[in-house]
Amino acid sequence: MDGSGIELSHVHMGVSDFPRAMAFYTTLMSELGYELKFCERDRHWAGGMQPGRPRPLFLIGRAHDGEPVSPGNGPMFALLAPDRARWIDATRPPSRRA
C-alpha cells in the first residue's frame, strides 16, 4: 500500500467441499500466476497471492461461522486503509469528509 488510499486486502471464497475446491483453485490460481502461501487442511482453509506483492490475498475455506456456505455466508472481501483515520474519513458521507 502506498499510503494514498484504500486497496483490496483479501478475498475469501467460502467452500463446502474443501478437497474439491482446493484441487480446483490450486490449478486456477497457478494458471493466473498466484502461489500457494499456506494450506491448513485440518482447518479447511488455504491462501495464495501473486509473487512479490503483499496484497491482495486470495483465500478459500469454510464459512467463518462454521455454518454451510450460502449466499451471504462464506464469501467475503476486505479493504485495507493506510491508517484508521483514512478509513474513518472514507466511510463518511462526502459532505462530511476532511
* C-beta atoms surrounding 6 within 10 Å: 14
Q: pLDDT truncated to tens, each residue of the chain (98 aa)? A: 555 677 888 999 999 999 999 999 999 999 999 999 999 999 999 999 999 988 889 999 998 888 888 888 888 888 888 888 888 888 888 887 76
**C-alpha span between 40 and 61 (Å, rounded):** 9
Is the pTM of the predicted complex or chain greater than 0.95?
no
- Cβ-contact 90, 81 below 8 angstroms: yes
Q: Are 12 and 75 in contact (CB under 8 A)?
A: yes
Q: Which residue has the cell 491462501?
A: 47
Sequence-separated (6 or more) residues with CB below 8 Å from residue 72:
none
Q: Give residue limits of the domains in the chain.
A: 7-96
Which architecture, in CATH terms, is 7-96?
A: Roll (3.10)
